[in-house]
Amino acid sequence: MAATSIAAVAGISGCMRRTIAPTLASPLLAANLPEDPCQLPPVHVSRDRIIRTVVGLRPYRPSGFRVEREQLGDTALVHNYGHGGGGISLSWGSSKLAVDLGAPGHVGPVAVMGSGVIGLTTARMLQDAGFDVTIYTKALPPDTTSNIAGGQWGPSYVYDDPDKLTQRFTDQYVFACKFAYERFQIMTDSRYGVRWMRNYLLSDHPRIPKPSPLGPTGKPTVQGATDALMPEIKALKPGEHPFGVKYCLLFDGMLIEPPMFLSALLTDFRMAGGRLVVGEIKTPAEVQELPQKLVFNCTGLGAKALFNDAELTPVRGQLTFLLPQPEITYSMLYEDIYMFSRRDGILLGGTHEEGNWSLEVDEPTVTDKLAKHAQLFDGMRPCSANKQT
């Protein structure tokens, strides 16, 4: 669940609105987004507005996602999995790394295992490189874990201790962030569900945006990999936004709506001549039996059993959706809650339970997150009422 949403919350009804609407293919911010943060409309949070609650399991590796090549007999196998909460955000970049690792010098058809976002972006990049691609998958969209992702661009829960990461992973993470960020920007056709959204990152203490920190070698670090990808980031003080006495970082980022994005990718894959085989591959021996001799493993959590990855573990996430509010065109993050607006509803999230395999909805969590969001949005006031003395 791409859920590190760096977000933005709501304010006051009756807001002024831009009068020039973007075209369907425009990547610009929504036409009704107020220029002044003080005019943000509030989210209406109540239990009777809930339309669904979903649960997903992020495929997490403390050492970071795995992009690696190995040989299984006469089959070349390239792993591309374990992205935690950064699957959608990193998809194009991680897939570029995997394709560059496996494709050079290969002649003949290629197989991809898995049809989540990593499998589909890997398959599309292989097709763009001229390969005949078959996807082998246990499930198809909309029945993949990627369909339950939030979709806000911003990798989260991708690794554990940044000081213990290898330089190899750091380099691939920095590359994947930048490549994916730029690739999404050119996918402006409305059918992909990609658009810019204003984000409000709230805190109880001042947070000053800083330049991307560099490591002792002068290279970018994982902590600073996304700093340069937040254009026009701006610090707001209490009184400059409607969220009470909180401090705020404001910046523009991208939202990728999974139901639209994954459907469009699958359509593109089929139109480019791709084939789908639905069924489960259970052992490495079955991988070797595939007619394709270059195989990309994009099975997410499935790689734990299939390739005995003891490090791979689930991080459970639960999202509750409220009825859509067309006037809400921003996102918000505060402590352990976040909100952003999609076409299919107002998304409320904020759960990260490592090691929990349950896919059942936890009602106490629904109640807790609902109450915290309601307290925040019900407490929005005109900026004049929030000014510090």
Report whether 40 contacts 202 (CB < 8 A). no
* Residue 215, pLDDT score: 63
Computed over every residue of the chain, the mean pLDDT equals 89
Mean pLDDT computed over 95-108: 98
In this prediction, what percent of the chain has a pLDDT beyond 70? 87
pLDDT digits (tens, 9 = 90+) for 5-24: 333 323 322 333 333 333 33
Is residue 98 very low, low, confident or very high in pLDDT (cuts 50, 70, 90)? very high
Q: What is the pTM of this model?
A: 0.89
pLDDT digits (tens, 9 = 90+) for 29-49: 666 666 788 889 999 999 999
Using CA atoms, how far residue 340 sits from 194, 195, 196, 228, 337, in Å, is 14, 12, 12, 22, 11
Amino acid occupying residue 309: D
Residue 315's Cα: distance from chain center in Å? 14
Q: Which of 220-229, 323-332, 354-363 has the lowest mean pLDDT?
A: 220-229
Per DSSP, helices labelled H in the chain are: 87-102, 117-128, 167-185, 258-271, 284-288, 303-306, 363-378, 383-386
**Residue 192 clears pLDDT 70, i.e. is over it:** yes
**Residue 136 clears pLDDT 70, i.e. is over it:** yes
* Residue 14, pLDDT score: 30
Nearest Cα residue to 180 out of 245, 103, 121, 105: 121
3-state DSSP percent of the chain in helix, strand and coil, to 5? 30, 25, 45
pLDDT digits (tens, 9 = 90+) for 55-75: 999 999 999 999 999 999 999
Nearest Cα residue to 275 out of 266, 264, 286: 266
